[in-house]
Structure 1
């Protein structure tokens, strides 16, 4: 049940107690940094992914991340999957997707612990990934297609998927006792996070069509300008908000949670 303030205090203590920064963040080309900003940090401070992009609360969030960056291993700009740096002990604490830290838990199950994402003033934001399966009306064999859907939703198929990918079941099912250490550790942390009183799900960007990459690039550009290049937070948010607003209008993409539903393109205040 950490807050971002407590998390920053922890990383500061780690840096001062060990002689160097021990927090790792996947800020490299293959890292999921944009998902952290979209689904965790910004919603925790603004309760929004799009509408409050340039709000005063967003300014606070980016300044908080600048504080955290002071205690982040500078090599993070090259990090992708954080399991590698955890195993080499280049970092001791890291943020990443459950599937991208699995090897650390599986290789050294007694050396690592998983815990929920920190919380901000608006709640403990996190990004659940909801995947849907549909059958087109033009399917040549609708019955066989529906049979495949039914097979994918069987408990045993969901467990097999979990074993292979660390992607958790979308249906209620009992976990076998022989699951890998990474699954056991992640399952407990995910249950604590999603079941927390201040849980704030922030969905993946949707309705953007082929412009999803451009949407994520706005968050990446904002991070690089503010945190890596030291540009003023307010000026950067104002400029990037204009880019985001134009993109939402061009894509005609309505809002998704945690933003309130919109009639037409999701507004950027």
Structure 2
């Protein structure tokens, strides 16, 4: 899965997420001098900036989000700088071959991701969730039409893990558009990452609707866990990330970041 409850504005975010990809602000630790700061290593980070609240564009065209804040904190602790750029989820791991040093894009710990990259220790759990307008629909949701996003691995998982018939799946480009399919009655259910869906269903765009939800934990608990990814064999960078994650967690900064995103529902400087 390109996979608690962190909503903001939803309609404008979709438009902002379509902005042209561009590198954005670097995260750098404090340095005693400009010379020492310039000497810090800089790592390039690929992220799918259409996936709030993990990563998305703000109104100024900067990539922001939970993953961004967390990786920035790791970089500050470990003494390196970061440069972000957008890449669609499809083909994301190929970026590690020649362009990206790190992937920060709600990477789930699956067999596929293990084979494609070196994965950090997990930092967050985010299972799938089913959303419907009728509570009874969730009792046998697999028998209904289900909308799911192409910028997750949900469509494949619906068939392989949950046994949903291909004819019952209504694809959409993003989770936001999947939810739009639901309210426009083009589908009976939406299934997607729980954190992303919660973000949207509490936003002003969908405030007129009363949604019912059902968490869908994976049969394999590890696949609900999220990690950062690096190229296989880049053990030095992976160790830096893992050490930084441990420091951020032990200091309580991880909890602060998660709490901040839970509380940031309708910030004016962020787009839905």
Return the TM-score normalized by structure 1: 0.31
Q: Which has the higher contact order (CA 8 A, sep 6+)?
A: 2
- The alignment's TM-score, normalised by the length of structure 2, stands at 0.31
Decide which structure has greater strand share. Answer: 2
Which structure is higher in helix share?
1
